[in-house]
Structure 1
Amino acid sequence: MMLGDDPHPNGMTSVWIDPRTADVLAVQRWNTLDPGARATAVVYPLHTGELGGVALETAVAVGGLTLGGLGISGVWLWWRRRAVKLATAKARSR
């Protein structure tokens, strides 16, 4: 069930209803959940990009591109260093 103050876009409030009598058996609001489930409910909009807007999306994109660039530059530096070591070893063996 989705209530106005639910942090999760699909709602985090649970309602149990008796299928025969339609009586409400129990209601569990998101803010009465255990701390782990409550933290998940609050962090989910951050995960889906609903929180933070374009600024957060841009920061995440820059961070992702930076990590990718670090991986590529690491392989490139390793490859250059390896090529120099191989060339030096080849020159010494002659």
Structure 2
Amino acid sequence: MVAQSNLCWIYLHLRQKGGAGKSDPLFINSKGMTLNRTYFIQIIKEIIESLGLLSDGYNGPSFRIGAATTAAKVSCQMVITALVSE
């Protein structure tokens, strides 16, 4: 679990004001829908391609590996465990 102090307090305030509970998804799109993996990867690929880069190497596993590597560097064991178990 991410410590609340590490998250943008404005985002958390707006979520709470909008009726989101503590167990609701953290990230939502502009329509209030859950930001799922498929949508996340689609948007990231569009951004990469808009920069004139190839997006073929970016997928779910590559993001999980990158996130696990970053979490390991900052000693975030809970995140590593969650990513590896997927």
- Higher normalized strand content (fraction of residues): 1
TM-score using structure 1 length: 0.25
TM-score using structure 2 length: 0.26
Question: Structure with the greater relative contact order (CA < 8 A, sep ≥ 6): 1 or 2?
Answer: 2
Q: Which has the larger radius of gyration?
A: 1
- Higher normalized helix content (fraction of residues): 1
